[in-house]
């Protein structure tokens, strides 16, 4: 598949095409397939520093604080994530978390918060994290129970956060907690918590099939200044959802990068593998499989860049389109990768083979930042709402 073709699509402009070719040439040299690192935290920090040095993290912040575009540009996030994911899931992770962990500050932070945190994202000197999920509040984010009690000029936080990417490795966390008595989504407020805040502890590291820093964090009487609150009390759920509207298309873009790589690996394998006196590519069954894979990759790309383009240009919420892109592209990538493993035969399940790695890399994307079922719920609700306007259509 001609990788450059899709960047000719009308919803990308010249700046995106330039970015796509620049990031591709950098990634082709800098991100090489290798062994999984022993020290994953150190590997992520090295990647973040490298991404900062090479200017890629400028796409995670607005121009006012060293970024490239006036506001964070979803299409750029998607192009970079697709490109990194094609070559190295950990590089994609390192990039994505710098964006996800700082985006709430970029969108809703005070001038002081932006000045204090965003330049460190741009130059790759701070590792960021986004702490929303809790043991009993994953898909149902509004059910979170971590509390923030106002005490004079401070807030005191208590509770448990889990599935926190970069948990234990981050320099700061954007973290969501409940202030006051308001129930559900209305009682949630966003805060910034620095890593050395007394009472903030890594309770347990979580080891997953595609390794990256992940932990359960405990907050015991964590005292932080009121100036660490992002936006007003009670705005937290909206801050979290706006952040996810920007990042869900980029999760879909990462899935697209994995799928595209699996497709390309399968094509190479089919062309070179000989059996029964011909190549695997000569079998119609293989041709049908590759045909299906190409269609899934293409459809994913259309949905990813449609959602990202709308996010950048439409003056409205794009929750539905972001959900459709994430749901479709992650599920499609799983199918494409599974097919690629099948085409590789036994080699496809050998530890370290590219498609075996992709098979592990893709799985979590169907779960994090809103599982497929949550995306179905979001889309279904929008479709069923009496008034599309009320549902943000
Ligand atoms: N942007 C801005 N505001 C939003 C929003 C968005 N994308 N989505 C919802 N809101 C607002 C709503 O407008 C509503 O505001 P009002 O109370 O003022 O009307 C409020 O937030 C509550 O919305 P809603 O009733 O739809 O919330 P629910 O509790 O029903 O939650 C889902 C809906 C399931 C969609 C939400 O909990 C979700 O996305 N869950 C997945 C969480 C997730 O991705 N976790 C992973 C964390 S990152 S690893």
Which residues on adjacent β-strands are paired with residue 174? 130, 192
Residue 264 pLDDT exceeds 80: yes
Q: Which residue's CA is the closest to the ligand 1 atom numbered 40?
A: 139
Return the pLDDT at 98.
98
Q: What is the pLDDT of residue 390?
A: 47
Active site residue 265: no
| Residue-level pLDDT at 120 | 98
Residues 285-296 have pLDDT tens digits of: 999 999 999 999
User: Where would I find the H helices in the chain?
Assistant: 14-30, 40-53, 74-87, 89-108, 111-122, 236-272, 284-313, 319-344, 354-363, 372-384
pLDDT of residue 391 exceeding 50, the answer is no
Lowest mean pLDDT among 8-17, 30-39, 101-110, 160-169: 30-39
Candidate of 130, 184, 190, 241 to mutate for ligand 1, largest count of ligand atoms within 8 Å of Cβ: 241
With a cut of 90, say whether residue 389 has pLDDT above it. no
Say whether pLDDT at 3 is over 80.
no
Report how far apart, in Å, the C-alpha atoms of 246 and of each of 75, 83, 108, 199, 264 are: 10, 18, 13, 31, 28
Averaged pLDDT score across all residues of the chain: 95
Could you give the percent of the chain with pLDDT greater than 70?
A: 97
Whose tokens are 């009472």? That residue is 199
CA of 139 to the centre of ligand 1 (A): 10
Look at residue 64 and give its three-state secondary structure: helix
87 or 6, greater pLDDT? 87
Residue with tokens 């909206």: 238
CA distance 227 to 137: 26
- 393 confidence band (pLDDT: 50, 70, 90): very low
Q: How confident is residue 10, by pLDDT bands cut at 50, 70 and 90?
A: confident
Which candidate in 36, 265, 369, 373 is catalytic? 369
133 in contact with ligand 1, CB cutoff 6 A: yes
> Could you report the per-residue pLDDT of 49-85, keeping only the tens digit for each?
999 999 999 999 999 999 999 999 999 999 999 999 9
Mean pLDDT of 228-234: 97
Q: Given CA atoms 254, 247, 119, 165 in this order, what sign does their dihedral have? A: negative
Which pLDDT tens digit goes with each residue over 303-322?
999 999 999 999 899 999 99
Q: What is the pLDDT of residue 8?
A: 84
What per-residue confidence (pLDDT) applies to 2? 52
pLDDT digits (tens, 9 = 90+) for 112-125: 999 999 999 999 99
**Measured between alpha carbons, how far is residue 247 from residues 78, 98, 228, 319 in Å?**
9, 11, 23, 11
Q: How many residues does the chain have?
A: 393
- In this prediction, residue 187 carries a pLDDT of 97
């Amino acid at each position: 598949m001609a990788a450059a073709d899709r960047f000719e699509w009308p919803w990308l402009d010249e700046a995106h095409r330039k970015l796509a070719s620049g990031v591709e040439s950098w990634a082709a040299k800098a991100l090489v397939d290798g062994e999984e690192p022993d020290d994953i935290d150190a590997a992520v920090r090295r990647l973040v520093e490298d991404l900062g040095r090479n200017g890629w993290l400028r796409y995670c912040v607005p121009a006012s604080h060293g970024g490239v575009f006036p506001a964070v540009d979803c299409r750029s996030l998607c192009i970079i994530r697709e490109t990194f994911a094609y070559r190295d899931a950990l590089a994609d992770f390192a990039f994505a978390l710098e964006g996800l962990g700082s985006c709430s500050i970029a969108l809703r932070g005070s001038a002081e918060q932006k000045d204090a945190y965003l330049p460190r994202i741009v130059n790759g000197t701070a590792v960021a994290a986004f702490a929303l999920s809790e043991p009993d509040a994953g898909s149902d984010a509004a059910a979170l129970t971590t509390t923030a009690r106002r005490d004079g000029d401070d807030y005191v936080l208590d509770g448990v956060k889990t599935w926190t990417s970069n948990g234990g490795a981050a320099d700061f966390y954007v973290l969501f907690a409940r202030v006051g008595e308001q129930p559900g989504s209305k009682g949630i407020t966003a805060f910034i918590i620095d890593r050395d805040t007394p009472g903030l502890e890594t309770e347990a590291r979580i080891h997953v099939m595609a390794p990256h820093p992940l932990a359960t964090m405990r907050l015991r009487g964590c005292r932080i200044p009121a100036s660490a609150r992002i936006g007003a009390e009670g705005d937290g759920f909206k801050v979290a959802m706006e952040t996810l509207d920007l990042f869900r298309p980029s999760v879909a873009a990462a899935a697209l990068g994995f799928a595209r790589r699996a497709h390309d690996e399968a094509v190479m394998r089919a062309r070179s593998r000989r059996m029964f006196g011909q190549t695997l590519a000569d079998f119609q069954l293989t041709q049908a499989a590759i045909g299906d894979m190409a269609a899934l990759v293409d459809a994913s790309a259309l949905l990813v860049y449609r959602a990202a383009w709308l996010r950048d240009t439409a003056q409205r919420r794009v929750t539905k389109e972001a959900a459709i892109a994430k749901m479709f592209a992650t599920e499609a990538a799983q199918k494409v990768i599974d097919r690629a493993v099948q085409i590789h035969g036994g080699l496809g399940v050998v530890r370290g083979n590219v498609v075996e790695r992709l098979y592990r890399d893709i799985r979590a994307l169907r779960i994090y930042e809103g599982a497929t079922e949550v995306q179905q719920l979001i889309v279904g609700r929008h479709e069923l709402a009496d008034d599309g306007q009320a549902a943000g259509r």
